Chains A and B, each alone.
Chain A
Amino acid sequence: MKPVLQIKNLRKDIGKKTIIHDLSLDVFAGEVFGFLGPNGAGKTTTIRMIVGLMGITSGEVLINGISIKKDFAKAIQHVGAIVENPEMYKFLTGYQNLLHYARMVKGVTKERINEVVELVGLEKRIHDKVKTYSLGMRQRLGLAQALLHKPSLLILDEPTNGLDPAGIREIRDYLRKLAKQEGLAVIVSSHLLSEMEMMCDRFAIIQHGRLVGIESVQDLVNSSQKVLLNVNPVEEAVSIIRQIYSNALRQVTKQGIEISVEREQIPAINAALVSKGVKVYGIQTVAKSLEERFLEMTGGNEIA
């Protein structure tokens, strides 16, 4: 499969300082791809270079195979984006804002504008001035302007910033739907790991302007997991676990026994406990391993 976005050895110097070092990655159609990193790691700078707001010192950004540097207009027409906050013309209505952006691309009809308005659920307020909108409504309007021209690459910088939990969930579901059903490549950036985990298929960890690694959420979930066992009697269970997986045991707390195993090992432990007559009241996965993995990769506690 041909990637929608290809970044090749991307580098940005400002003055004598290098902000982005030799970044390379591919994003494919139908996936939600995350840029994860602490504030100031270079996520937004990278996004700005992808959409041509910032010059590229060296390296290349290709969108559907077209270089953003050499053929900006042709490359950018496949991109819809919100860079940082969705700032709109506050003295215009939501509809006038969309009209403004629709005029800047060929072939966006009035029907398409209405369709997008409906899609983001702003029908009732679209003819109100943007200054009366809540942050959540502005995010929706931002999403609407990014989708107007049916892009194949959607880039959202911190899309859940300032949203309430319901709004976050809605955006998350919506982005997944866009990727799976419409086949868009979606890029989101965030400094929150938990968000990445729930939204993305894959994510790149960026720190100090360098790519630390690219992770697949699926692989991470399948690998090592932290599991909480609620059993009785505890002492006997501990000794059984020591016998089968000596390295698995983490600690014993009031909540239960904490172990760290791979997904496939959980039924085996359960079977062993049950066969020895230990009562198992609950097995609960505590998805902490991703965060641990993240800290391991970035080597510190710089995450917010």
Chain B
Amino acid sequence: MPSFISLIQNENMKIYRRMSTWVMIGLLALATIAGALMIKGTHKEEATGDWKKQIIAENQTLKAQLSEGNMPKAYNKQLEKQLRINEYRLEHELKPIASNSFWGFVVESSNLIEFITLFTIVIAAGSVANEFSWGTIKLLLIRPASRSKILLSKYAATILFAVCMLLFLLISSFIVSAVVFGVENVRDPYLAYQDGRVVETSMILHVLSVYGLNSVNLVMMVTFAFMISTVFRNSSFAIGLAIFLMFTGSQITMLLAAKFEWAKYSLFANTNLMQYIDGIPPVEGMTMSFSIMMLLVYFAAFNSLTWLIFKKRDIAA
């Protein structure tokens, strides 16, 4: 019986010995650099002394909106949080983190995780479907390794690819940011709002949590693409459907959520866990733990369907 490690080695060989994988990695590096240069170009030097005036003006608007009181509760909470943090900044002379600064860009570039999701979807969609279209599945499945083990090695290699890409993005955004914007504000803290109090935490922790929370969506979409790829044995269909849902899923859910409460059970109402920290959940009353439960249910459903079908299928390709 082959060890699980050697099966993953095999899958890695099939991922990294292909030109298209390296094109994707190159594109990610390019996007990071291009993003930094674009921000550098558009954000001209802001007058340094002015940030206090800006915050004071912002606070006045926030207060006005709060006193009107006709907004939903979750929205008001959001405004209050912003207000508290702004007050804290004035009190402690802490300049807000601009996007054209070291930390600003590192946080900004986490948006490129969408790219990584896209690329990993491509890898996941090909993982099983390509073996069928290449005809190699027939030679792959006549070895002393169970189908479950082979499927798991494919899934693991796909997730491993995503992790590598995330690390690559994190490291390259650090390097690019340091080169383009300098490391002036590297010691600035992140201001979090917890239980009605503003606390100073480290910026790197904040960045890691942003990465972590964004990866939830990545894992769900990749698992979905992996399932479609296994069920339909067609990589283009899996890529197309997963990307379509990735871009329209949350909008459709928002539309539904405005009318129906059951929209909170849809996958896309729950994939964005950032909404519990920095935003407003689509349906009132949703909590972080509810979303995590829903995600686990979807995750288990996707994976067991994939596994069942792969295990039972007659290979007639």
Contacts and interface: CB of A to CB of B under 8 A. Distances in A.
Interface string B137-154: 011111111100000000
A139 B314 CA distance: 24
B66 to A, nearest CB: 60
Interface string B1-42: 110001101100110011100000000000000000000000
Interface stretch (A103-111, A210-218, A283-291): A103-111
Interface string A91-115: 1100010011101111000000000
Given A73-B144, A76-B144, A105-B143, A48 B316 contact: yes
Nearest to A102: B6
B13 A92 contact: yes
B314 A104 contact: no
A89 B136 contact: yes
Interface residues of B, number: 27
Nearest to B312: A55
A53 interface: yes
Nearest to A99: B13
A104 B145 contact: yes
Nearest to A80: B142
B135 interface: yes
A106 B134 contact: no
B312 A85 contact: no
Given A73-B144, A89-B134, A92-B17, A106 B10 contact: no
A145 B139 contact: yes
Interface size class of A (residues with CB under 8 A): 20 to 34
B142 A53 contact: yes
A87 B144 contact: no
A136 B17 CA distance: 24
B57 interface: no
Nearest to A76: B144
Contacts of A101: 139, 143
Given A104-B6, A104-B144, A91 B312 contact: no
A27 interface: no
A298 to B, nearest CB: 25
Nearest to B18: A91
Interface string A134-174: 00000000000100000000000000000000000000000
Contacts of A91: 17-19
B17 A87 contact: no
A90 B134 contact: yes
A88 interface: yes
Interface of B: 1-2, 6-7, 9-10, 13-14, 17-19, 134-136, 138-146, 312, 314-316
Given A52-B142, A53-B141, 14 more contacts: A53-B316, A54-B314, A73-B145, A76-B142, A83-B138, A83-B142, A87-B134, A87-B139, A88-B139, A96-B13, A103-B7, A103-B9, A104-B143, A106-B2
